[in-house]
Structure formats: C-alpha cells, structure tokens
Structure 1
Amino acid sequence: MTGSEGARPNRLPWPPMLLAIAAMAAVGLGVVLPLPLPRHDSVVWAGYLVAALGLSIDGWAILTMRAARTNVLPHRAADRLVTWGPFRVSRNPIYLANTLLLLGIGLAFGNGWFVPLALLTAVLVDRLAIRREERHLAIKFGNAWIEYAAATPRWLIR
C-alpha cells in the first residue's frame, strides 16, 4: 500500500452515491414494474418507525463525529478515531442508518424495490467503502483501531 492510499480511503463518496442511486432506482422500478408491499397500517407504521430510527442514528452519528472534530465525508481522511456514541454499537452506524432508512421508506410507501436494493446497497457499501475505510483507519490509528475493531461489530452483529 502506498502512502497516498493511507491518506484517504476512497476517491469517490460511494455510500451517499449508492444510497441515492438505490432510492432513485427503487422509485423508478416502482413506477415501471411495481413490487407492492402490504399496505396494512402496521406495515406502514413499522416503515415510518424504521425510517425514523435510521434518520435518528444517522443524525446521532454525524453529531458525534462533529463533536469529535473529525471528518464526516466517507472519501476524506479521518482526523480522529471515534469510538463513543453510536460507534460503541457499530463501527458503521451511518451506513447502518442508511440501510434502515431505505428499508423503512419501502415499508412506509409500499414499494418492495427498496428492500432488495437496500440490501444490495449495504453489500456494495461494504465492498466499495467500508473495507477501504478500515484499511485507512488501521494505517492511521494502528493498535487503537485494531482494539476497537476487535470489540465492535462492523454493522451490528458479529
């Protein structure tokens, strides 16, 4: 690995790009080839709750990173290793929150395309961003990163 690879994890901000593409694709596919979900009140309200949970975790994680005075953008170098707040439970609470947001929108609005696209987006974010970010953090923070990564799951469950 060259020094420039350790300077920042990615050239492109993959996670927000993939989130936007998945949402637009789900809406487009929902129009062209509907994949309806049950419109029962409990499903709709569960969708709103899951989406709200996603937004809440996202906001909490961003505020935690800002309080730590570290970079929030996924294609920029990290300034500090953040291990508190939502980062105690998941090494990637923002990406977890984005997945929950897509799932919740799908349930709330009855568009089944959001579900497989949320899961596909999570896999792509893992491969295109998280793995590279983890290499970057290991180079930048060494043993502190190794200990944190050993104690905290990448998503939510080991």
Structure 2
Amino acid sequence: MNAYRMKPLAFPWPPFIYGAAIAAAFLLQAYFPLSVAETNIWIARAAGGVLIATAVILDVWAMRTLVDCHTTILPNRCSTHLVTSGPYRFTRNPIYLGYTLATAGIGLAVLNPWFIVTAMVAAALTSLVAIKREELHLLSRFGVDFERYCHDTTRWI
C-alpha cells in the first residue's frame, strides 16, 4: 500500500494512553501517596474544574470542526481534508491537548499530583506513538500544504 493510502494508525491509541494515565495516577497515589497542602484546596479544585471545562470545550470544538470539514475524527482513519480552521488554527492537535488538559484538571480536582506527571507522560507517548505517524500520513496526503500548516501552527501550544 502506498503512503498516500496508508492509515495514520492501525489502532486509535491516544484514548487508551490517556485512560491508562488516569488509572496509573490513581494507582500511584494509592501506593506512593503524595501529600497536598491543605491550604486553599478550593483554588486547586476550581482550577481543575476550569481545566476540565476548557478541555471539553476544546475537544467538542475540534470534533465539530472535523465534522464540518467532512473528514474523520478517528485517528485510525484516513483524512480526506486538511483542516486548518477552528482550533486547528492555534494547535495541530487540539483533541490531544484537550485530553492532556482534562487529565491534569482531574488531578487538581481530586488533589492527586500524580495526574500532572501522568498527563505529561501521556502527552509524550502520544507524540511518539500517534502524532508522528499522523503527521507522516498528512504529509503524504497533502504535501506542501501540510508543510506550510506545520510551519505556521505549533504541534501542541
């Protein structure tokens, strides 16, 4: 199969990576608890809520933009259009950015610092496992247009 027709991923890994990160954070806190200062707990929980709400809005906006542009949302399907509008004007991976923000936000909301660590690990793994492969797929499908988009738009933020 040529690169143009190749799927970006054989399996949609990112949701499972972030699900594993959330599970790992709970397990790490159970076996290696990190204490949180008792002062201003409500600030941490409020910040967590803001991050979670931001993540949900970002993910819904990104998915809506993909649907409006008649291309796939699933990372294991071939893209039919290069999407550079909506949140894709600011970041090439708004859905994964939303997953990362949500993971960190959950950590703040439940006062578990391990979530911050696992969110960073999940973002790094997503870059290695999914984003690199998706970018090769988009480069093979859209060529110089994708190169120009990469030049003008950051991968994360």
| Range of TM-score over shorter length | over 0.9
SS at match of 1:7: coil
Per-residue deviation, 1:124: 0.4
Q: Give the Cα–Cα distance (whole angstroms) in 1 for the partners of residues 36 and 64 of structure 2.
A: 34
Q: Unaligned 5+ residue runs, structure 1?
A: none
Change in CA separation of 1:84 and 1:133 when aligned onto 2, cut-off 3 Å: same
1:108-127 correspondence to structure 2 within 5 Å: 108-127=109-128
> Which sits farther off after the overlay, 115-124 or 27-36?
27-36
Whether contact under 8 Å (1:37, 1:107) holds in the other structure is: no
Per-residue deviation, 1:6: 4.7
- Is 1:52 the counterpart of 2:53 in the alignment? yes
- Is 1:69 the counterpart of 2:75 in the alignment? no
Q: Give the Cα–Cα distance (whole angstroms) in 2 for the partners of residues 44 and 8 of structure 1.
A: 40
Q: Give the Cα–Cα distance (whole angstroms) in 1 for the partners of residues 81 and 22 of structure 2.
A: 31
The answer for the alignment partner of 2:7 in structure 1 is: 8
The answer for the alignment partner of 1:139 in structure 2 is: 140
Per-residue deviation, 1:36: 3.6
One-letter identity of the residue aligned with 2:58: I
The answer for the alignment partner of 1:128 in structure 2 is: 129
Per-residue deviation, 1:83: 0.2
Q: Give the Cα–Cα distance (whole angstroms) in 2 for the partners of residues 6 and 37 of structure 1.
A: 50
Query: Aligned-residue CA RMSD in angstroms?
Result: 1.4
Per-residue deviation, 1:77: 1.1
> Which sits farther off after the overlay, 9-18 or 32-41?
32-41
Q: Unaligned 5+ residue runs, structure 2?
A: none
Q: Give the Cα–Cα distance (whole angstroms) in 1 for the partners of residues 108 and 31 of structure 2.
A: 18
TM-score (norm 2): 0.93
Per-residue deviation, 1:35: 2.3
Q: Percent identity?
A: 39
Runs of 4+ with >4 A deviation: none
Aligned positions, number: 155
